[in-house]
Every structure is written in C-alpha cells, then in structure tokens.
C-alpha cells in the first residue's frame, strides 16, 4: 500500500475518531460534571480503543499477521495513546484555561496537532511491518 493511501485511510479513521471523541467529551462533560481534563482523558481513551480497532482492520490491515493484536494494542497505547493523552491534555490546559477557548474547539485543535505524530509512530512502530 502506498504511503499516501495509508495516510488517507489514517485520516478517515481519525475524522471518525474525532467525532467519537468530541461527542464523548460533550456527553461526559455534561452528564458527569467535573474538571474538563478528566472528561478529556476519558474521551481520549474511548477514542483510542475505537481508532485501534479501525486501524487494525482498515488502515494497517495488511500488517495484521505480522504480530498479535494484543502486542499491537500495547504498542498503540504506548505510542499513539501517550501522544494523544499527554498532547491533548497539555494543549487542553493551555487552550481552555489560558486562551479561554470553548471546550470542543480546544479539543479539536489538540486532536489535529497530535495527528501527524500519531501517524508516524503508528506507521513506523505500533503497526510496523515485519523486518
């Protein structure tokens, strides 16, 4: 598969995941009020699991047989998960608390900022082809 096609697939999954994350964030923040960073972390984890399944079966499906799904899940969480969690929470703190942006706009910006790093890590480590 060409890198451009994989990048396109990654962004399609990411766009759906972004909708999942923003919906989850709005729901959690509304129904379980508390600090927006806790709601963000919960929404990120839900989205990570959603995106992992789609990436495993769609974006990097040609690399599925190279390793077990559990090892890929662990690598995905140790790479994309950490980038998404730490990047989103740091940017959310900055954009919501300091810049006073609305919650969902701030989260959209944070997601987009982390996406390029997540693709590179996903392609080269979490779902890397067998060497």
pLDDT of 33: 83
* pLDDT at residue 73, as a whole number: 93
Q: Is 100 left (phi over 0), alpha (psi -120 to 50) or beta?
A: left
Do the beta carbons of residue 52 and residue 20 sit within 8 Å? no
pTM above 0.75, yes or no: yes
pLDDT of 66 reads 63
Which pLDDT belongs to residue 69? 87
What pLDDT score was predicted for residue 68?
84
Task: Collect the ranges in the chain with pLDDT lower than 70.
Answer: 66, 131
Spatial distance between the Cα atoms of 79 and 130, rounded to a whole number of angstroms: 18
Task: Evaluate whether 63 touches 128 at the Cβ level (below 8 Å).
Answer: yes
């Amino acid at each position: 598969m060409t890198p451009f096609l994989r990048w396109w697939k990654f962004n399609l999954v990411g766009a759906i995941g972004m909708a999942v994350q923003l919906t989850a964030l709005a729901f959690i923040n509304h129904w379980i009020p508390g600090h927006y960073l806790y709601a963000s972390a919960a929404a990120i984890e839900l989205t990570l699991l959603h995106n992992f399944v789609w990436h495993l079966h769609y974006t990097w499906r040609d690399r599925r047989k190279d390793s077990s799904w559990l090892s890929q899940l662990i690598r995905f969480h140790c790479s994309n998960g950490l980038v998404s969690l730490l990047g989103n929470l740091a940017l959310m703190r900055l954009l919501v608390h300091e810049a006073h942006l609305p919650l969902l706009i701030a989260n959209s910006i944070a997601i987009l900022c982390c996406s390029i790093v997540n693709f590179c890590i996903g392609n080269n480590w979490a779902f890397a082809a067998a060497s």
